[in-house]
Structures are given as C-alpha cells and as structure tokens.
Amino acid sequence: MANSDREEYTEEMQRREYRRKRRVRNQIIAYITAAVLLAALVFGAGIGVHEAAKILNDKQHAQELQNQLEELEKEEPVVVEAPEETTEPETEEEEEVIDPLGEIVEGCIAEMPIADKVAGLFMITPEALTGTDVAVKAGNTTKEKISQYAVGGLVYFEQNMKSEEQFKEMLSTTKSYSKYALFMGVDEEGGSVSRLAKKGLADNVGSMADIGAGGDAAKAKEAGASVAAYLSEYGFNVNFAPVADVVLEGNTVLGDRAFGSNASEVATMVSANVQGLNEGGVSACLKHFPGIGSTLEDTHDGMAVSEKTLDDFGTTDFLTFQAGIDAGAEFVMVSHLSVPNITGDNTPSSLSAKMVTEVLRGQLGFEGIVITDAMNMSAITEYYTSDEAAVRAILAGADMILMPEDFEAAYNGVLEAVSNGTITEERINESLRRIYRVKCKDRVAE
C-alpha cells in the first residue's frame, strides 16, 4: 500500500474514532439528562398524584355534601314546637312578710265571742250605754253595761263635762272597766263646734273658716296639734275633725266649720290639720263624705240631696278627702247625703255600697275605718228602723255605726243578721281588723 493511501487510511480511522468517542459522550450525556429528567418526573409525579388524590377526595366529599343537601330538601321540614308554658312550683320559698301588728290584731279578734265582735262595731254615747238621761260619772252601771255590751267606743258631749277633774276621771274609769281597748271620741273642730273649749276645759283654736281665709297651712297644722295636745291629756284618742267639705258661697248648713270654697286651698288645709292631729297622737276623722257643702238641707232635720255627679265631686270634695287620706287620716265619716245622680236613688250615702265600697274605698283608696255619721239624725230615722239602718250600713261597707237612735235594737239587729247569714262573721272580722289596727298600733315597738 502506498504511503499516501496509508495516511489517508490512518486519518480516516482517526476521524471514525473521534466520531465514535463523540457519539459515546453524547450518549452518556443523553443518558444522564434522561436520568435526571426521569427522576424529576418521578418526584413531580409523586406530588401530583398526592395532590390529585387530595383534590379527588375533596371533590368526592363535596359531592357527598351536595347529595345530602338535595336529600334534605326533598324531606318535610321538621317543626319544633315551643314547649307549653307550665307554672312550675317555686323552688325557693318566698320570704315571709312579718306583720307584728297584724298578729296582735288577729290575736285580739280570735278571742272575741260573736256578741262582743258585733258590739265592737258601735260607737255610742255614755247615756245610750247606761240608759241614763245624763252621764257625768262612770260607776257600777257603766261597769255592768260595758261588760254586757263591749262597744267599740264612746262619744262625749258638753253635757258630760262638769269640770276638768270630773271629766278626766270619768274617761279614765270608763276605760278601766272595758275588757277591750276603747275609742274615746269627741267633736273638737275649733270654732263653733268645740265641745271642751265651749265648756271652758280648753282654749278654742278658732274657726276653720278663719284659718282657711288666712291661707296659711301652718296655722291649720298648729290648730290640729293644739287640739290633739289637750284631747290626749283628757284621754281622747279620736277627734271627729277636720271638716273636709268644700262649701258653696253663702252655705249656712256648715257655717264657719269648713276651710272654704276653693277645693285646692281646702285640700292643703285639711292635709295640714290631719298631720297636726296625728302627730299629737289623736286619730283624725274626715267628714262629711262625699261632701255636704253644696246642699242647703241639713241631714239632722231630714233628707238632704245633692245633684252632683261623680265628675263634679271629683273636681271638688274628692280632692280634699283624698288629701286628708294621703295625710294619714285613720277615719272617714260618711254622711247621710243622697246623691241620686251617682247611686240612682235617694239612698243615703252611709247606707250605699256604691258610695262606701266602690267610691270611697275603690276610687279614693281609703283603707282605714269608715264610720257613719250619727244614725239618730232624721235623714235616717224617718226612713229606717235602727236595726235596719245598722245592717244596711255594714252591708254597704261601713266599719262602725255611730250613735243609732236605739242602740240595743241596732245591736240585736246586726247580731241576728250574722246568725241568719245576712252578714257573715268574716265580714264582721274585716271591720274589726281595721278597727284594731288603729287601736293596737301603739303596742308595736317602733
């Protein structure tokens, strides 16, 4: 072989060797690259599969929820009814309200026989109790009769008063004879109706008309306090005052006994006078409900009528009575005035459930002792017997009967009404509770 051929051959072989090596190198690089790519694919595939599985699970869960919601929508809605209200028994005992006065009162009433209970609703004169013409001393007859008729109280007039010593002894002895606490009452208004002052046993505080005209409520309170001071000294615990009527100009029935004709001004005076009496330890008694200041007739002489309506009284006399009640008056005296535009007939207010129970207690809210005006007045005696009037007054809601024309007849009439069921014993007890809450109030420690 020629040299030139040999060189060409050698060069050709070198080129082939170079191409082979380059091919092997490229293959190695390709293998490495492929391996790297494969590893990357494997790793990525693992993550993808996980994520894909997660997504698939989420989709499956969502689909399940959707299927459940669709099933719930197909079902009838469930209506949940509110539980019925039931009155559950109290799990905790309510705190008991302690009423010491109430307990004392109940104790007093529980020990009383029915005859004494009925007698306890009457307030009479010492003459009506003893059967004498004029009583100026409490002796054996008083002792005997007050044991037989355990009246709730006694009322005194000028004829019973001879001297300071005599009168104080009479009242003190009378109270000592009674087995129950007594109301000792008198009309001591000031001015023309002042039983003790007119007999010279006390200084007259002056008429309420003059005090009202002065416009100073402090004077009205001072008058009440002065009266209470000397009444207490004698042994009285009830004063049938003040007059709470609003009078028309020129009214002669009441004269100087009322504070005036302006309801608002009278109300202020009445309230102050009640406070003066109460602070002096004497129970005030407002009179003459529903108000007799607009009539020209006198119930002492016969029927007295007022054409006023409830609205009319509401803007006049009721304002003054309400003021006295709010000031603490423990008694209200109901007159024998007929008010047909309220009751529908000429029944005296003292015998009318409409006036006593519905109006005085219901509308004005009075919870104290309702006492009738004197039942020996012609407005009563001309139309009713003593027993009939007493029974009707209690049925109307009165607690105490003042001075019936015939005490024994009135007493026996009420006793018979209880016996035959016309009046229940509980009705009697209701009045006695009001009476004894006043009589026993000093027995409760402050």
Q: Which residues are part of the catalytic machinery?
A: 300, 373
Q: How many other C-beta atoms lie within 10 A of the C-beta of residue 125?
A: 19
**CA gap 137, 134 in Å, rounded:** 9
Residue 91 to residues 87, 120, 218, Cα–Cα distance (Å): 12, 43, 53
The runs of H, that is alpha helices, within 235-361 are: 263-279, 310-314, 317-326, 340-343, 353
Cis amide prior to 288 (ω within 30 degrees): yes
- Cα-flanking dihedrals φ and ψ of residue 58, to 5°? -60, -45
Q: Are 303 and 246 in contact (CB under 8 A)?
A: no
Give the amino acid at 350: S
- Strands of the sheet containing 331-334, edge to edge, are 369-372, 331-334, 283-289, 238-239, 183-186, 153-156, 122-124, 401-402
Q: How many other C-beta atoms lie within 10 A of the C-beta of residue 425?
A: 13
CA-closest candidate to residue 194, choices 134, 252, 256: 256
Q: Are 123 and 151 in contact (CB under 8 A)?
A: yes
End-to-end CA distance of the chain: 157
Tokens of 344: 């529908």
Give the amino acid at 343: T
**CA gap 193, 64 in Å, rounded:** 102
Residue 11 to residues 3, 16, 44, 389, Cα–Cα distance (Å): 12, 9, 48, 164
**CA gap 442, 334 in Å, rounded:** 26
Tokens of 387: 């027993």
